[in-house]
């Protein structure tokens, strides 16, 4: 990313390009979740180009935040990993907004409930836990509306909420002898759903964390495994080539070796 005209105001398109680089870096394992979230928040808060530059300076395949540039450049033009379009396809948030809610509430009494996979999150979801709780996974979910509210009420229990990178999260709940984890709070992608997590817990709590969807994690794990196998194969072939080149001249007992012993 060029740091020319550092005081020029950054555009929304430039912020989105930087956010895309950060998400690709997270998917490739170049950034941890905490650092990714910190940089992503800084991206959406940035007012000038100069504030955007340090956020991706140590990452590969980034383009200059040029206002004349394409907001969604092709991988061939930027040198990006060819797998990046598949990741961006998963982030087409507009395709995941709309539809009839599949569940509007959950109750866990001395036990628990779960909502995960391709379920549709309602405009307002209410969870109740008494000496129990629930698990809400939004990574593969659809959303009845763009803005949703999750209300958590727990007595000696708790809830866990898992959201994907790029989704906006705001935590407002009150905890008495307990609490609501707000470490995953942050700004959303421009077209992403936004979730407000609120409620009340007594001697309990609500945890919120960001994770990649399982499908992306499995794919990235498979890609890393394939890269390691390719590297091992290349090293093995390199050793075999070196042995092959050295074979005809590497012996010591031949007629010209000078080290043979006559009997």
Same domain for 114 and 205, yes or no, is: yes
Q: How confident is residue 15, by pLDDT bands cut at 50, 70 and 90?
A: confident
Same domain for 48 and 5, yes or no, is: yes
Q: Is 205 helix (H, G, I), strand (E, B) or coil?
A: strand
Assess if residue 236 is contained within a domain.
no
Same domain for 52 and 132, yes or no, is: no
Q: What is the pLDDT of residue 109?
A: 94
The mean pLDDT value for 146-159 works out to 94
Same domain for 159 and 201, yes or no, is: yes
Residue-wise pLDDT tens digits, 177-222: 989 988 888 777 778 899 999 999 999 999 998 887 776 667 667 7
Assess if residue 32 is contained within a domain.
yes
Give the C-alpha separation, 196 to 177, whole Å. Answer: 22
Buried b (16+ CB within 10 A) or exposed e, 144-174: bbbebbbbbbbbbbbbbbbbbbbbbbebebe
Q: Give residue 60's domain range.
A: 1-69
Same domain for 65 and 112, yes or no, is: no
Same domain for 104 and 65, yes or no, is: no
Q: Which residue do the tokens 């390719």 mark?
A: 230
Out of 210, 230, 247, a domain closes at 210
Assess if residue 189 is contained within a domain.
yes
Q: How confident is residue 233, by pLDDT bands cut at 50, 70 and 90?
A: confident
Q: What domain count does the chain have? A: 2
Residues sharing a CB contact under 8 Å with residue 199, sequence separation 6 or more, in sequence order: 127, 150, 151, 152, 153, 154, 173, 174, 180, 206
Out of 24, 52, 69, a domain closes at 69
Assess if residue 156 is contained within a domain.
yes
Assess if residue 164 is contained within a domain.
yes
The mean pLDDT value for 241-245 works out to 79
Same domain for 103 and 206, yes or no, is: yes
Assess if residue 223 is contained within a domain.
no
Residue-wise pLDDT tens digits, 66-105: 434 443 443 333 344 433 333 344 457 888 998 899 999 9
Same domain for 42 and 117, yes or no, is: no
Same domain for 122 and 191, yes or no, is: yes
Same domain for 64 and 103, yes or no, is: no
Out of 192, 210, 228, a domain closes at 210
Same domain for 110 and 191, yes or no, is: yes
Assess if residue 231 is contained within a domain.
no
Q: Computed from CA positions of residues 46, 47, 49, 54, in that sequence, does the dihedral angle turn out positive or negative?
A: negative
In terms of pTM, does the model score above 0.85?
A: no
pLDDT exceeding 70 applies to what percent of the chain? 76
Same domain for 205 and 137, yes or no, is: yes
Q: Which has more confidence, 71 or 28?
A: 28
Assess if residue 182 is contained within a domain.
yes
- Enumerate the β-bridge partners of residue 198: 151
């Amino acid at each position: 990313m060029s740091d020319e005209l550092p005081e020029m105001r950054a555009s929304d398109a430039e912020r989105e390009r930087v956010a895309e680089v950060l998400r690709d870096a997270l998917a490739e394992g170049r950034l941890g979740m905490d650092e990714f979230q910190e940089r992503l928040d800084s991206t959406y808060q940035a007012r000038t180009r100069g504030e955007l530059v340090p956020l991706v300076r140590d990452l590969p395949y980034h383009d200059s935040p040029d206002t004349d540039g394409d907001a969604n450049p092709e991988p061939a033009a930027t040198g990006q990993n060819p797998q990046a379009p598949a990741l961006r396809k998963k982030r087409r948030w507009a395709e995941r907004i709309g539809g009839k809610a599949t569940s509007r509430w959950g109750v866990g009494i001395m036990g628990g409930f779960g909502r995960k996979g391709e379920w549709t999150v309602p405009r307002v979801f209410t969870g109740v836990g008494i000496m129990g709780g629930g698990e809400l996974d939004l990574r593969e979910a659809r959303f009845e509306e763009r803005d949703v509210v999750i209300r958590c009420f727990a007595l000696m229990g708790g809830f866990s909420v898992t959201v994907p990178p790029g989704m906006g999260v705001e935590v407002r709940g009150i905890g008495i002898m307990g609490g609501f984890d707000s470490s995953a709070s942050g700004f959303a992608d421009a077209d992403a759903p936004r979730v407000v997590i609120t409620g009340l817990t007594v001697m309990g709590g609500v945890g919120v964390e960001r994770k990649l969807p399982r499908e992306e994690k499995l794919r990235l794990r498979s890609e890393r495994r394939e890269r390691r196998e390719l590297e091992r194969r290349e090293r093995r072939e390199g050793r075999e080539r070196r042995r092959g080149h050295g074979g005809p001249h590497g012996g010591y007992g031949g007629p010209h070796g000078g080290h043979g012993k006559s009997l």
